[in-house]
Amino acid sequence: MGTPVNIIAGSHVWVQDPALAWIHGQVTKINGQEVEIERNDGKKVVTKLSKLYPKDTEAPAGGVDDMTKLSYLHEPGVLENLKLRYELNEIYTYTGNILIAINPFQKLPHLYHQHMMQQYRGAPLGELSPHVFAVADVAYRAMINEGKSNSILVSGESGAGKTETTKMLMQYLAFLGGRAATEGRTVEQQVLESNPVLEAFGNAKTVRNNNSSRFGKFVEIQFDKQGRISGAAIRTYLLERSRVCQVSDPERNYHCFYLLCAAPKEEIDKYKLGHPKSFHYLNQSKCHELVGISDAHDYLATRRAMDIVGISKTEQEAIFRVVAAILHLGNIDFGKGKEIDSSIPKDDKSKFHLKTTAELLMCDPVALEDALCKRVMITPEEVIKRSLDPLSAAVSRDGLAKTLYSRLFDWLVDKINKSIGQDHKSKCLIGVLDIYGFESFKHNSFEQFCINFTNEKLQQHFNQHVFKMEQEEYTKEAINWSYIEFVDNQDVLDLIEKKPGGIIALLDEACMFPKSTHETFSNKLYQTFKNNKRFVKPKLSRTDFTVAHYAGEVQYQSDQFLDKNKDYVVPEYQDLLGASGCPFVAGLFPPIAEETTKSSKFSSIGSRFKLQLQQLMETLNATEPHYIRCVKPNNLLKPAIFENQNIMQQLRCGGVLEAIRISCAGYPTRRPFFEFINRFGLLAPEVLEGHYDEKLACNKILEKKGIKGFQVGKTKVFLRAGQMAELDAHRAEVLSSAAKIIQRRTRTHIARKHFIDVREATIYMQSFCRSRLACKIYATVKRKAAAIKVQRNTLRFQARKAYTTLRISVLVIQTGLRTMDACNKFRFRRQTKAATIIQARWRCHRASSYYRKLKRGTILAQCRLRGRIAKSELRKLKMAARETGALKEAKDKLEKQLEELTWRLQLEKRLRTDLEETKTQEITKLQNLMEEMQKKVDETNAQLVKEREAAKKAIEEAPPLIQETPVYVEDTKKVESLAVEIDGLKASLQNEQEISEDLRKKFAEAQECIEERREKLEETEKKVHQLQDSLHRLEEKLNNLESENKVLRQQAVSIAPNKFLSGRSRSIMQRTDSGHSFTDTKMHVDLHSSSFSEVDDKPQKSLNEKQQENQELLIRCISQPLGFSGNRPIAACIIYKCLLQWRSFEVERTSVFDRIIQTIGHAIEKIQDNNDMLAYWLSNASTLLLLLQRTLKASGAAGMAPLRRRSSSATLFGRMSHSFRGTPQGVNLSFGNGMPGGGVETLRQVEAKYPALLFKQQLTAYVEKIYGMIRDNLKKEISPLLGLCIQAPRTSRASLVKGSSRSVANTAGQQALIAHWQGIVKSLGIFLDTLKANNVPPFLVRKVFTQIFSFINVQLFNSLLLRRECCSFSNGEYVKAGLAELENWCGVATDEYAGSAWDELKHIRQAIGFLVIHQKPKKTLDEISHDLCPVLSIQQLYRISTMYWDDKYGTHSVSSDVISKMRVLMTEDSNNAVSNSFLLDDDSSIPFSVDEISKSMEQIDIADVEPPSQIGENSGFSFLLPRIE
């Protein structure tokens, strides 16, 4: 493993320590074979050179994921590597293809997330971080590709996590090969659901584990030809039967006993149970409860698991009856009977438990007592009953309990296998073996002997597999290798199982003799194996024996070997329980055939176990094995505690160190060429300077240093044990000499620097002294010059002061005089200005007063003049009012009002014929009366005019003098009579007006009544509509034709609205269309008259056929690519125009929508991988969806309310007539801004029926589907490139070897690496051009690229966290350069199309920023989590920090304090499963809604879209032609 010859002073080594197994130290002195070492804890020790192992000082700080990569493959190196990884929560480590799993004793859900399974699916072993999923995936892929069965062997001591590891394997295999069950649950679900049942009856608390499996389990998962799970079977080995009767403190019995004691009260009362401490089989230990575990809850969970597995309620009750019977059976104590060596139940308590046991087992209590206390001996002469003493009766009782429990457990396993079902046609399977590990306690009995025998068998299989893997590795590299000595343990297996002289054979022989005891058995062993190296007789014991196993010596106590080996059922028990009244209990003891009884004279547990083990080994030999070694880090069952001695023992027991020993026998050190050259290239600089092949360069380096026995393969250098240390010693010498040269040059530099500093200081001191002397001389001269200057300035100051005083005095006098003069002038000017203001104000007041007087007079004159004119006009009006013409005009107005009322009453009468007959008659009578009154008034007026004319003629013709007085009197009488008659007419007119007012009031009341009846009628109409809808659904085909005919009839009416209408109907229709005040009943009647039907029935069939032809032509047209008109898709525009023109949105039943959807669906199915055509259909579908979103509204929507309030035509007949008005109102095909008609905002929405709304939903689904197909196609296109980007740094690192001669190769390599990123950018650019060419809305383009960049972020980030080789400094620089390419692309694409895509790369950008930043150990956790990587979680930061390695400068990751703080934060948040997952999930949802599309897309003008020639020439599509204004 290591060669101490290469250890020199200063070497870092591993030295043995009693507490820590191995501890690091540094060699300080070597005296021959003795070495003085200073350990890292400060102590100095002296040890032999042969007991030291070299330490790799250049090993990564976080360890290596595969221990075959260790420079020194020895025990301390393996232990240190596991410890480093365990401290980083890296619980999985490879040793070749063997997985070592260390139990973390805490939840790590991020390791078993669904996304983690997806990452390991199909990944080669070693590409990702070590994981149990990787082993399962390799086994599954080997089975699929090679068609050979595989097996996964999970081993380890109790508490190492074997059962949990097996569950993870099952879950992953179910993930790979699972499928939906046709009936009920899938096979993998049933296998996983069987675990709680087996754990309840086969697991127990031991000293080392609270849930230890006390049986071996081999699960065969069967697969069909397609790789799907088709069946399964569970095999169990060596249930620890003795635990039923014997439990040592602080362990517990099997879980099921405690679960039943914690069952609901009715269950406890039914089985007459109590607290566990009241039962003998449970109170042998003081431990009755487990911390943090509820037995009551687990009991209910076990019952539910039984239901799921398929155990019926009756069977469950019988199972727990047997469990309760075993507990009561243990409480039966025996005392001495009346006869010699006889026994009976000791007391009443024992009799009670005996009776209860018989009741639960449904057998006779007396027969049960006889079976326990007596034995039947059959002789040729007679049958003799022999009584048992109390001790023998107790042994008999325990034997019955163990037999019952063993039979019950076997029944459960058989039941589970029947429930799961096996696929006998399956040719491939994956077996998962969950077997107990090697055990060595203070007291080792028959169970430990069988367990260790099993592990010896498996160890031999393991050694053969490891040796085979070594040979395959050597053959793969094509190196010359001689046969390596195979370490075999066949001698131990012969000692145990060889016939006839093995331990098991001797044990069976001793069991067949009634008088044999454990002492005679032990003596037989001593005599037989006294010369066997593997067998040792202890000096201080007469019955113990020791076996030297591969993992160490184990001393066994043979006290109970004979009792535990016996496996026959006492005939009394067989007869008693076989005749039980409980079918379940009777089924556990089936009758044994006489031939079988005679043929099998003796049966033992050891022989049966040996047979089962042989069958297991045959199964394993027929499969390709994979190994998982589970390790328990400490006996406290707590996280973050790593006990070196304990783990070394487990590695030894698990065979890991044995595998390392096999590797060391060959070539334990294997290094790729580039790694070897990087590390040892300095031993031969001339090799690096020359242009040598890597393989030749490695040869030259090794030959130069005189290394012999090495091998150079195709890609690796293989070194014998110790050669790595020898090379490191040479390397240390070279580095030491180089360090000395550097030190010598450094000291020279320091001395010269010191001399230069002293010389510069001396010159500085001289300069300083000279400067101080010059300063003193300069100060004297300066003082003299200053004195002269002070004198001069003093004299000048005095002279200037005298001059200034004189000047100030003169100025004061001048200022005073000038001030007096200015004050006088100012006073004069102010008086003059005040006088001017007073004059101006007075003149203004005078002019204003004159103006007001003049205005008042003028207005008064005008008022008087206008008053006179008004009085004259008033007189004329009064005279005119007295005349009869005014009365006539009033009558004419009244007549007009009556006519209008009559017309309105007639119209309402036609609308409500049945409801208003009485009112119509009254109105008719009133009308006749008014006509008669009108005639009377006309006659009276005519008679009055005639009489006046006659009077005038009579006056003119009469003699002027003689007959003047009589004529005057007669005329006066006539005038008076006429006046009286006129007064009577006025009175009658007033009466008529009063009657008219009463009629108006009655009409208003009638109108209110009509309104109430109208509301009731509308409610009735709604119910009628509901009934009509139901009728339409039942008569779908007929109503479809009727609806289409109705539309055609409406179009016919709109084309010639006056063709079928009479003059009266036409006038009423025009009035209704213009005023929207009344309902056109007349038109409704005329349209359904016989004359209309005769004309309309003839073209009905031809119109329907024409409609079908138009639809066929439209479908044929849109099934072909029509291109674009500007940026508008032609297909979407013509579909929308046609549907709008045909009024398809308002039809109850039509097939045009389904045909359009089918056309789109067929087109998409044919071009699923053609992004160009998918983009074309996405553009058309989204545009059509936009038009529908802005046009359609649901039937009965609130948008119709304003129309109903504005028009009274919203009644049933009004809506019917409204639907016959020809061209739809408000339909304007100009959708753009600036177009006449107001665009979309002023467009009246169409009230859509159910088919139109369903069509809109289907179109929405197709938009989402096409979007998803385009996005997934781009993901598929860039996924291989992303994989190359991830793999590129690792695959090309071999070519990037350090050295000046390889700089050109490095540059070319970097260009080759960046080409993968450029390929991604090229794909993105082509994809963007495709979307632009097909005018896909920018909103959808932004969404696509946002999700694509999120996909890139997820893939890169997850790969970074799962691949340690990617988490390096150089890889960070590489990915950073690639991200720069993507950023440049986003800038070129602009925000219109790229949007926020760049922000989606935040995780990988911040992670890369962390990788390439310098001086990581100086960074605090706050700076990293808040400034550098604010988006990343603590789990992600912890993962990156622990996996980081600097392959360029050799720097370290963050400090240990930061790592510790991260671990504390992760522990505090360990219960949050979401936060514990450090991987990202890819979002494949649809990130938009219809409303978002509608709001984001611009308005579209489809008025000027030219239709295709094939439908543009058809007259039926003339409405598609652009309008010419």
158 is catalytic: yes
Distance CA 903, CA 1082 (A): 14
| 3-class SS of residue 386 | strand
437 is catalytic: yes
| Rg of the Cα atoms in the chain | 56
Give me the amino acid identity at 975. Answer: V
1089 is catalytic: no
Distance CA 83, CA 90 (A): 9
Contacts of 1394 (CB under 8 A, 6+ apart): 1342, 1345, 1385, 1386
Distance CA 1420, CA 1318 (A): 36
Distance CA 902, CA 900 (A): 5
1232 is catalytic: no
Which two tokens mark 832?
């003059």
Question: Could you please report the per-residue DSSP string of 39-59?
Answer: ETTS-EEEEEGGG-EE--TTS
DSSP 719: E
Residue written as token pair 């003169």: 810
Which two tokens mark 1474?
């979401």
Question: Could you please report the per-residue DSSP string of 238-270?
Answer: ---GGGGT---TT---BHHHHHHHTS-HHHHHH
Angle at 361 between CA 357 and CA 366, to 5 degrees: 60
Which two tokens mark 1373?
């620089």
Active-site hit among 6, 155, 195, 212: 212
165 is catalytic: no
| 3-class SS of residue 566 | strand
Compute how many other C-beta atoms are within 10 angstroms of the C-beta atom of residue 1382: 20
Going by C-alpha positions, the residue among 1224, 1198, 1202, 1214 that lies closest to residue 1077 is 1214
Count of residues in the chain = 1525
Distance CA 1322, CA 1328 (A): 10
Give me the amino acid identity at 1407. Answer: A
Active-site hit among 150, 166, 210, 213: 213
Q: Which run of H or of E encompasses 410? A: helix 390-420
Distance CA 1208, CA 235 (A): 85
Which two tokens mark 1522?
């652009």
Active-site hit among 77, 159, 606, 1378: 159
159 is catalytic: yes
Q: Which run of H or of E encompasses 521? A: helix 518-528
**By CB neighbour count within 10 A (0-12 exposed, 13-18 middle, 19+ buried), where does 656 fall?**
buried
HSE-up of residue 48 (Cα within 13 Å, Cβ side): 2
Distance CA 517, CA 514 (A): 8
Q: Bridge partners of 151?
A: 431, 625
Distance CA 523, CA 506 (A): 11
Distance CA 509, CA 1263 (A): 81
Active-site hit among 161, 177, 437, 606: 437
Active-site hit among 149, 150, 209, 387: 209
421 is catalytic: no
Question: Could you please report the per-residue DSSP string of 1001-1039?
Answer: HHHHHHHHHHHHHHHHHHHHHHHHHHHHHHHHHHTHHHH
213 is catalytic: yes
Which two tokens mark 1513?
């020439």
Q: Are strands 711-712 and 716-719 parallel, antiparallel or unpaired?
A: antiparallel
HSE-up of residue 181 (Cα within 13 Å, Cβ side): 11
Active-site hit among 157, 199, 220, 439: 439
Give me the amino acid identity at 1050. Answer: Q
Active-site hit among 89, 95, 158, 565: 158
Give me the amino acid identity at 1187. Answer: L
Which two tokens mark 1091?
């004359």
Alpha helices in 1129-1241 (DSSP H): 1130-1141, 1152-1166, 1171-1191, 1201-1206, 1212-1218
Active-site hit among 97, 163, 331, 1230: 163
- How far apart are the two ends of the chain, measured CA to CA in Å? 98
Residues forming the active site: 158-159, 163, 209, 212-213, 437, 439
